[in-house]
Amino acid sequence: MTVSELAALVGGQLASGVDGSIRILRVASLAEAGPGDVTFLAHPRYRPLLMTCAASVALVPANFAHAVTPACIYCENPATAFAKVLEKFAPPEIILPQGIHPTAVIGKDVRLGEGVSIQPYAIIEDRATIGDRTTIGAHCYIGQEASVGADSLLHPRVTLMHRCTVGNRAVIHSGAVIGADGFGFETREGRHMKVPQTGIVEIHDDVEIGANTCIDRARFGRTVIGEGSKLDNFVQVGHNVQVGKHCFLCGHVGIAGSVRIGNYVTLAGQSGTAGHLTIGDKVVVGGSGGVTKSLASNGIYLGFPALPAAEWKEQTVHIRQIGKLKERIARLEDILSAGGKNSIPEM
């Protein structure tokens, strides 16, 4: 692709005086790009990398006004524009063959849509439903009466337990377990007795679930992952949790049972919640944050226990001053014990 073709693809403005016939061969990050590569500047903090970058061309913000070696294409949103470039330079999509592999095990009264792909050693139990053009990867397990919608992809070794449902255009990565029993026990006479987990998991349309993520079935009723939500790897969702639409649950997030999460919520990596809480729409919980009480909508919360960001930052500053405060108190005690009350040091 030439630089001119690249500018047309992303709807960007090529810098004046640039030779539009220069050919672009690869995509690369700012730190790794060299001659023949296209890269992009998504945030001002990466500008020092661009200043020393040897790429042939860079996608930059429309207001970028610095002299750099790469030819610049000015874009409204360089990150979004670069995604279009990646699509053009990506290797060919791996398309698995349609049909049922001879080693797959298909139960009784299974309903398979048109154009499905059932890969080697997949197991689909009785009365399950697989929608049109959906792919069930190798060694997947689909339980009795479970269903997967159309145009979905289950990568190898996904487990979808009995009666649980997955919507259309869902992507579930390897090792995910949907519908294992919730963690429900009652202690009777010194012994932990299991509470039956009789509900289901309901995954709505356009959800993506990362590798080794676990979503527990409800004790009764439903555990729900709302439309368009994206779950990272190693996420734990407890029984009867309700996750709203278009949420981000990042790696190692843990959500205890019966939590209600609104729409467009982000839980950053290693954050977690206590049970039976409500988290409002558009809440952001920072990394390793611990939610111990319900959170109002449209807030940013940090720390453990999770506090409004401004309050947490103020407390953090105070905590860092404890050492100096301790030293000052010790000096005050020395002065007072020596009778020098008029020589109190300043902070």
DSSP string over 240-294: T-EE-TT-EE-TT-EE-TT-EE-TT-EE-TT-EE-SS-EE-TT-EE-TT-EE-S-
In the residue annotation, 239 being an active-site residue is answered as yes
The span from the CA of 173 to the CA of 104, in Å, is 19
Q: CB-based contacts of 40: which residues, under 8 Å, 6+ apart?
A: 30, 58, 59, 60, 78, 79, 81, 82, 85
155, 162, 239, 276: which one is catalytic? 239
Contact criterion met (CB below 8 Å) for 174 and 156? yes
- List, as one string, the DSSP characters of 176-217: -EEEEPP--EEEETTEEEEPP---EEEE-TT-EE-TT-EEEP
SS3 content of the chain, % helix, strand, coil (to 5): 15, 30, 55
> CB of 117 within 8 A of CB of 96?
yes
Which residues belong to the active site?
A: 239
